[in-house]
Amino acid sequence: MPELPEVETIRRDLLPLLRGRAFTHVWVSPDAPRLVQAPSPADFARLLPGRRIGDVSRRGKFLVFHLSGGLYLLVHLRMTGALLHRPSGAPPDRYVRAVLALDDGSELRFSDLRKFGALWLLPDPSPVLGRLGPEPLDGGLTPSLLRELTARRRAPIKSVLLDQRALAGLGNIYADEALFAAGLHPQRPASSLSVSEVERLHEAIGRVLTAALDDRGASFSDYVDASGREGRHQFRVQVFRRTGEPCYVCGREIARVKVAGRSSHFCPRCQPEGRGEGGLRQVGGLPRARRDALVTKPNEVSQ
């Protein structure tokens, strides 16, 4: 599932292309009956044309289009969704579930293999966005606030990081990477973290997300940006999906456990189950073969 770095990359790409543009026509596939969450698909197709885009923002893993007339278009990509901006006359894309035509002849195409993505058109986005926790990169998440969030939770720290009501935007990739960078075992009870461990985790979250943004996200399976290009951060991960491979720091094999029904990847030596007062692990330190892969040109999505 695209997480904060991937969704933010798409937002940054779309904003200069879409600001001031107006929707002219909407098509929603009858094979995707759950794509439009609100209002009805018919009302969605009726109300969106003529609305002009004033801004494109992000809240957690949601893209938020600020439209004329006081409406908001919310987009969640879920597992396999992609929001593609295509010029007039571009070849068709695979698995397109909706097409939003614009007044310059370009289109926003919502492509989604598994049909889990969702769209909303609302006068007030708070019923959808109001329960999200603080944003990790905009100053809303401070070490003291993170301490408050963890101190009252007995659940594993990995589960807390995945809870969008506690912290908006993190998913499986960057929760694993942040916990490794902070030297914390994913099954540690959140309330057991010391003040210094929480401070390390806070810094690790910021460093991991910033590094992923610099790489335009991670493309392990379906994620592509608004132009259909893959990200590069999959070449820099330290533990995620590296089960059985040696840790870049200590050489120990990366292990995997289930936490809250999700696979969690960690280094048993760098992330002990008990308390550890070490420093932050390096973000993006990897052998030459993986460093060299970072300079390869990302593949375009199949047309």
- Domain of 155: which CATH number? 1.10.8.50
Whether 175 is in a domain gets the answer yes
Specify whether 173 is located in the same domain as 255. Answer: yes
Q: Which of 94, 129, 164 is the last residue of a domain?
A: 129
Between CA 177 and CA 111 the distance in angstroms is: 28
The pLDDT value given to residue 275? 74
The pLDDT value given to residue 301? 33
How far is it between the farthest Cα atoms of the chain?
58
Whether 302 is in a domain gets the answer no
- The catalytic residue among 2, 41, 134, 186 is 2
Specify whether 193 is located in the same domain as 106. Answer: no
Specify whether 278 is located in the same domain as 152. Answer: yes
Tell me the CA end-to-end span of the chain in Å, nearest whole number: 21
Between CA 241 and CA 264 the distance in angstroms is: 9
Whether 138 is in a domain gets the answer no
- 35 contacts 104 by C-beta, under 8 angstroms: no
Q: DSSP character for 146?
A: H
Each residue's pLDDT expressed in tens, for the chain with a length of 303 residues: 899 999 999 999 999 999 999 999 999 999 999 999 999 999 999 999 999 999 999 999 999 999 999 999 999 999 999 999 999 899 999 999 999 999 999 999 999 999 999 999 999 999 999 999 999 998 889 999 999 999 989 999 999 999 999 999 999 999 999 999 999 999 999 999 999 999 999 999 999 999 999 999 999 988 999 999 999 999 999 999 999 999 999 999 999 999 988 999 999 999 999 876 566 776 655 543 443 433 333 333 332
Whether 225 is in a domain gets the answer yes
The pLDDT value given to residue 298? 35
DSSP lists the bridge partners of residue 71 as 67
Whether 123 is in a domain gets the answer yes
Non-local (6+) Cβ contacts of 73 within 8 A are 48, 51, 64, 65, 67, 119, 120, 121
The pLDDT value given to residue 279? 66
Number of domains in the chain: 2
Between CA 231 and CA 8 the distance in angstroms is: 12
Specify whether 86 is located in the same domain as 223. Answer: no
Asked about 230 being catalytic, the answer comes back as: no
* Domain harbouring 75, CATH code: 3.20.190.10
Specify whether 209 is located in the same domain as 112. Answer: no
The pLDDT value given to residue 281? 72
Specify whether 170 is located in the same domain as 28. Answer: no
- The catalytic residue among 11, 51, 61, 158 is 61
Identify the domain containing residue 212 by its residue range: 143-293
Q: Which of 76, 67, 82, 68 is nearest to 13 (CA)?
A: 82
| pTM of the complete model | 0.91
Between CA 218 and CA 231 the distance in angstroms is: 5
Between CA 180 and CA 44 the distance in angstroms is: 43
Quickly list H helices, 48-193: 126-129, 143-151, 157-162, 172-182
Write phi, then psi, for 102 (nearest 5 degrees): -120, 165
Specify whether 119 is located in the same domain as 149. Answer: no
- 260 contacts 162 by C-beta, under 8 angstroms: yes
Whether 301 is in a domain gets the answer no
- The catalytic residue among 52, 262, 269, 290 is 262
Specify whether 95 is located in the same domain as 199. Answer: no
Q: DSSP character for 284?
A: S
Asked about 3 being catalytic, the answer comes back as: yes
Specify whether 191 is located in the same domain as 169. Answer: yes
Specify whether 149 is located in the same domain as 283. Answer: yes
Alpha-carbon distances of 265 from 18, 150, 181, 193, 259, rounded to whole Å: 38, 20, 12, 19, 10
Between CA 280 and CA 175 the distance in angstroms is: 15
- The catalytic residue among 3, 107, 197, 230 is 3
Whether 99 is in a domain gets the answer yes
Asked about 2 being catalytic, the answer comes back as: yes
Specify whether 12 is located in the same domain as 113. Answer: yes
Whether 300 is in a domain gets the answer no
Q: Which of 100, 129, 158 is the last residue of a domain?
A: 129
Q: Which of 129, 151, 168 is the last residue of a domain?
A: 129
Specify whether 92 is located in the same domain as 163. Answer: no
